[in-house]
Structure 1
């Protein structure tokens, strides 16, 4: 049975736009995943990262998924590793980060994975692109629209980029 999932792609090292594009291409080419929508690319300052960390580019993908949550996690982690992500440092700069932010209406808490993503409601760089592709998306726990969690003053911190986005 397919479920709608939302993935947040992020990058703050290397050719960030090209890395987001390649991660999206690899996800779209994965059996059991079908892309149904992709947000624009947004730039934002790094949150909860070491001082001096480069700005992030982020994009949300809406996909239909026939995989289990942990099966999807295994795939996202392999793509991260293949695209140069290492496990060095909490919130350290990284070429690619793929977070499963929503998986249908599931609420899941395991050692490896928490769905909905535990910090998404306080992160405009997640909420703004999510609202673009799924303005009707609601928090499975509270049934409140995720758009309600976007503080208006934070909108200036998440900037929509002109496409295509590539660092030289």
Structure 2
């Protein structure tokens, strides 16, 4: 069964609860969660005048094809209350497909690997916790190598649930 790596994030409401609800929904609607990274907090990226985000990476198995996976993710985000008002705006939950096996895909609705993956510490740090030696199929570098070369200077700190 194909493996996919998803980034969960959110910066509104009870952030830990929304991450937990997203994990539960993904387990029911997408497939089995094999592993999950720690939970990390970072200042908003892109549009910076908003609350800090919590992020987590999941390693999952799914029978869904990439387009089906994206549709399920979008449905789950809506179920959890996500409203898309502005690019990089505040949100209760955001779920991004980072990798899907070694597929390289670019369509109007979906790009895999995620096109911003190598530019974001809040993505690379939890991803490197799970798969530091995983090779990016386009850039030809490991996740650990991408993290070491990442131009993003925002502090990313691991948090303990309940803190």
Superposed, 1:63-142 pairs within 5 Å as 63-142=60-139
Q: Where does structure 1 lack aligned partners over 5 or more consecutive residues?
A: none
Q: Separation in 2 of the partners of 1:85 and 1:151?
A: 32
155 and 162 in structure 1: CA distance in 2 versus 1, 3 angstrom threshold: farther
38 and 155 in structure 1: CA distance in 2 versus 1, 3 angstrom threshold: farther
Question: Does the residue aligned with 2:90 lie in a helix, a strand or coil?
Answer: coil
Q: Deviations over 1:86-125 (max 9, x none)?
A: 1211111000000001000000000000000000101000
When the two structures are aligned, how many residues end up with a matched partner? 162
For 1:14, the equivalent position in structure 2 comes to 13
Q: Separation in 1 of the partners of 2:117 and 2:77?
A: 20
CA RMSD of aligned residues (A): 1.6
Question: C-alpha displacement at 1:132, in angstroms?
Answer: 0.7
Matched, 1:33 2:31: yes
Q: Separation in 1 of the partners of 2:121 and 2:49?
A: 20
- Report the TM-score, using the length of structure 2 for normalisation: 0.94
Q: Where does structure 2 lack aligned partners over 5 or more consecutive residues?
A: none
Question: Does the residue aligned with 1:57 lie in a helix, a strand or coil?
Answer: strand
Where has structure 1 moved over 2 Å in runs of 4 or more? 151-156
